[in-house]
Structure 1
Amino acid sequence: MTEKSEKYYQAVMEHKQISRRGLFRGLLSGAKKTQQQAVVEPFTRLVARPPTAVDETLLSRLCDGCGECEKACPQHVISMINGKPELHLDCNFCTDCGECQRACPTLALSNTCHSTGMIPVFSGSCRRMLYGYCDMCATDCPQQAIDLNEKRPAVLKDKCNGCGQCRTACPMGAISFTLSPITPKVQEAPAVPTE
């Protein structure tokens, strides 16, 4: 595919004649090649953000502080702090409903990766560690991201999206959150039909 693309572009440059179909095919194959070669860099949020927020550098440039995401959140967990959306998961959790993303007039909430950037941490007051029973956090976790094979609950980081539902479910208040690196997933480009 790479040789064909290079030959195609070389022929275009030499003959300066190209069909409309050939032009689009060449452009799309170049875009697919670029996407496949893209390096996906993990990033860490500075604070908990709505699940589809872009990385911090882009967020600072794209978000204009309009507050539409805060108004749209049915769980009321988004607050505008210093003109940027932050999640507050102390009394409620994020359902990842997508309302904030739909309400955002900019591309600040356009990430394909759904993570708040937070990961649960279990303190020593966890009922399971104290008494040997309790599975409320794991039962309520919509991602099934809490492993109870050991006495201390463990978080499956590749599954956890940091929604905070486990914290809300914990009767002991034994769950807090810490920042965790996020690795965005690259979506494959759709196949370009060739004739």
Structure 2
Amino acid sequence: MKQPKKLPWTISSLCDGCASCENACPIEIITMVETEHKGFSIPILKKYEDCIGCGKCANACAMGGIAMTAYISDAIEKCERDRKRFLASDFTPWERSE
């Protein structure tokens, strides 16, 4: 699978937990997860490997809580940390050529 040129980056301090991004994702890879602050959720990519980089999630966010970033390696690392922290599931990151 071809890696997109950009990936979504959640800016938690701007997120209001509305789930507009989750609803806008055409391939349903965004999920809202409850944070340590009970009753407050943020979006994470549950399958960033499948992200097509369309930006519909960022466009749907009225608060600016999601931005598209071209720093793919950083975004992948953040997604991996978020998934370990919030989903505790196994995953296989993209193979990167060094």
The Cα offsets for residues 92-125 of structure 1, whole Å up to 9 and x where unpaired, read as 7110111101101111113543537226xxxxxx
Q: Give the structure 1 partner of residue 9 of structure 2.
A: 53
TM-score by structure 1 length?
0.31
Q: Unaligned stretches of 5+ in structure 2?
A: 1-5, 35-40, 80-90
The Cα offsets for residues 114-172 of structure 1, whole Å up to 9 and x where unpaired, read as 537226xxxxxxxxxxxxxxxxxxxxxxxxxxxxxxxxxxxxxxxxxx8xxxxxxxxxx
Larger radius of gyration: 1
Q: Unaligned stretches of 5+ in structure 1?
A: 1-49, 120-161, 163-174, 179-195
Q: Give the structure 1 partner of residue 88 of structure 2.
A: none
1:93 maps onto 2:50 in alignment: yes
Equivalents in 1 of 2:25, 2:54: separation in Å?
Answer: 9
1:68 maps onto 2:28 in alignment: no
The Cα offsets for residues 35-65 of structure 1, whole Å up to 9 and x where unpaired, read as xxxxxxxxxxxxxxx92325xxxx2211010
Equivalents in 2 of 1:51, 1:89: separation in Å?
Answer: 12
Verify the 8 A CA contact 2:22 2:32 in the aligned structure 1. Answer: yes
Q: Which amino acid aligns with 1:84?
A: I
Q: Which amino acid aligns with 2:9?
A: A
Equivalents in 2 of 1:69, 1:107: separation in Å?
Answer: 11
Structure 1 residues 61 and 51, CA gap change in structure 2 (3 angstroms):
same
Equivalents in 1 of 2:68, 2:76: separation in Å?
Answer: 16
The alignment yields a C-alpha RMSD, in angstroms, of 3.1
Q: Give the structure 2 partner of residue 105 of structure 1.
A: 62
Corresponding pairs, count = 70
1:176 maps onto 2:92 in alignment: yes
Equivalent residue runs for 1:1-195 within 5 Å: 51-54=7-10, 59-82=11-34, 83-89=41-47, 93-113=50-70, 115=72, 117-118=75-76, 176-177=92-93
